[in-house]
């Protein structure tokens, strides 16, 4: 994409070719710029994603823009069975990439959200790992992750993979 190149960014050519449905776990997530750069990168792959975003950001006019960009408002304070809703999105759509930032915040968080993992299992779709690396100004898909069923070990393995990538605020990234 022209704008990304203009800003000095490169997009990794490794992409999930032929994949119609998947969960995308993206890290590190340390800045609001991750959303902007990530959306441009995904557009360069020709991938349309749904992104679950806290409902507090869906006020006019920002909410309209977020919806146009694939944003889905989520009430994080209420137990609203998000897993069921996400699985339903997969069932109702022929093509669906649903993006998650497992860190759940732009600050450092050693306790990742596990919803992306459960949703992938319930929807029976693969998990693709996507990254953004501000140090090298490159982003893209790292590859597919095959869950073993041992969520604790799998999350640790995913964190190990993401440690090689540096966020805009590196001290808030994966450790």
Q: To the nearest whole number, what is the mean pLDDT of the chain?
A: 91
Tell me whether residue 172 is in a domain: no
Q: What is the DSSP letter of 170?
A: G
d(CA 78, CA 83): 13
CA 30, 36, 82, 95 dihedral sign is: negative
For residue 27, being part of any structural domain is answered with yes
H helices of the chain, where?
A: 2-6, 33-45, 62-68, 82-92, 115-123, 151-162
- Which DSSP helix (H) or strand (E) runs through 71? strand 71-74
- 124 lies in some domain: yes
In a domain, 174, yes or no: no
| The model scores a pTM over 0.85 | yes
Q: What percent of the chain has pLDDT over 90?
A: 67
Q: CATH no. for residue 131?
A: 3.40.50
Percent of the chain topping pLDDT 70? 97
Residue span of the structural domain in which 57 resides: 2-103+110-166
What total number of domains does the chain contain?
1
pLDDT tens digits for range 86-104: 898 899 999 999 999 999 8
Average pLDDT over residues 33-39: 89
> Does 84 map to a domain?
yes
């Amino acid at each position: 994409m022209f704008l990304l190149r203009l800003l000095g960014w490169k997009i990794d050519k490794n992409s999930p070719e032929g994949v119609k449905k998947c969960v995308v776990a993206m890290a590190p997530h340390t800045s609001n710029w991750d959303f902007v750069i990530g959306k441009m990168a995904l557009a360069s792959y020709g991938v349309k994603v749904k992104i679950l975003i806290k409902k507090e950001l869906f006020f006019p006019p920002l909410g309209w823009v977020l919806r146009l960009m694939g944003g889905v408002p989520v009430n994080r304070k209420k137990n609203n069975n998000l897993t069921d809703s996400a699985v339903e999105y997969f069932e109702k759509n022929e093509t669906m990439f649903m993006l998650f930032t497992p860190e759940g915040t732009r600050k450092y968080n050693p306790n990742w959200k596990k919803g992306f993992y459960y949703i992938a299992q319930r929807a029976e779709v693969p998990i693709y790992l996507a990254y953004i690396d501000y140090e090298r100004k490159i982003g893209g898909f790292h590859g597919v992750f095959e869950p073993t069923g041992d969520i604790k070990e799998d999350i640790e393995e995913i964190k190990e993979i993401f440690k090689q990538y540096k966020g805009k605020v590196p001290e808030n990234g994966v450790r």
